């Protein structure tokens, strides 16, 4: 994937954290998406009956022996340093860590916030931002998982941005320490090639 394509795909990832917050007259905090939609920050109990519960076991592999620890919340991201490069994100991009598969066209990022947001609202906000940049963006898979003992929403989003067919694979998690989006992304046609790398990468998510 050339540098231009990488930058175009990154536009969606960086927009995923661009939502703002406001307070209603009743004192409720709402998340304002840039496309005009909104959701309550604390939208109540997770609606687990509407999202499939995957009962398989998701744990990090032994080769994921290097930990990137968030300073924003309690999230931790274990990676294989022989396979992945990483760097700290900058303030403009809102990503705490940016990652790339060595010699490949698979990318990742960790977006962390201090504020707790319900996982369902976090996933809704990610889709809303995707739709703003790619009108044909859609969720192709969504389910609850237990990953290294932590409940997350796993979500796949596909779409077309400036003629590029992309696909995102993400874990969305929130607790009292804050909210986390841990995302891998690549061109849609490369999903099969990188499927095992995507799964290994995401399953490095845990808490400190």
The phi-psi region of residue 36 (left if phi > 0; otherwise alpha if psi is between -120 and 50; otherwise beta) is left
pLDDT of residue 161: 84
CB-based contacts of 92-101 (< 8 A; 24+ apart in sequence): 92/14, 93/10, 93/14, 94/14, 94/16, 94/17, 94/18, 95/13, 95/14, 95/17, 96/70, 96/71, 96/72, 97/68, 99/201, 101/194, 101/197, 101/201
pLDDT band at 46 (very low <50, low <70, confident <90, very high): very low
Region of poorest pLDDT, from 44-48, 67-71, 203-207: 44-48
Q: Assess whether pLDDT exceeds 60 at residue 145.
A: yes
Q: Assess whether pLDDT exceeds 70 at residue 148.
A: yes
Residue pLDDT, tens place only, 97-124: 999 999 999 999 999 999 998 898 888 8
Q: Assess whether pLDDT exceeds 60 at residue 13.
A: no
pLDDT of residue 134: 85
In 59-114, beta strands by DSSP E: 66-69, 75-79, 84-88, 97-101, 107-113
Q: What is the spatial distance between Cα 6 and Cα 120, in angstroms, rounded to a whole number?
A: 28
- The CATH homologous superfamily of the domain defined by 3-42+52-207: Mog1/PsbP, alpha/beta/alpha sandwich (3.40.1000.10)
In this prediction, residues 39-54 reach a mean pLDDT of 60
pLDDT of residue 45: 39
In this prediction, residues 183-192 reach a mean pLDDT of 94
Q: What is the spatial distance between Cα 77 and Cα 83, in angstroms, rounded to a whole number?
A: 14
């Amino acid at each position: 994937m050339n540098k231009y394509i990488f930058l175009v795909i990154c536009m969606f990832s960086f927009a995923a954290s661009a939502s703002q917050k406001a307070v209603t007259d009743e004192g409720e905090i709402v998340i304002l998406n840039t496309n005009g939609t909104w959701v309550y920050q604390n939208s109540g109990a997770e609606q687990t009956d509407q999202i499939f519960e995957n009962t398989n076991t998701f744990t990090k592999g032994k080769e994921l022996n290097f930990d990137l620890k968030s300073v924003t919340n309690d999230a931790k991201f274990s990676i294989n340093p022989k396979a992945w490069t990483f760097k700290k994100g900058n303030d403009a991009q809102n990503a705490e860590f940016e990652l790339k598969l060595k010699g490949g066209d698979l990318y990742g990022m960790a977006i962390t916030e201090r504020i707790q947001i319900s996982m369902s609202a976090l996933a809704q906000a990610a889709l809303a931002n995707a739709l703003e940049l790619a009108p044909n963006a859609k969720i192709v898979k969504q389910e609850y998982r237990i990953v290294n003992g932590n409940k997350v929403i796993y979500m796949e989003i596909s779409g077309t941005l400036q003629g590029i067919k992309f696909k995102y694979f993400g874990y969305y998690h929130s607790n009292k320490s804050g909210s986390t989006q841990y995302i891998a992304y690549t061109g849609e046609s490369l999903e099969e090639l990188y499927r095992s790398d995507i799964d290994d990468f995401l399953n490095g998510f845990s808490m400190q």
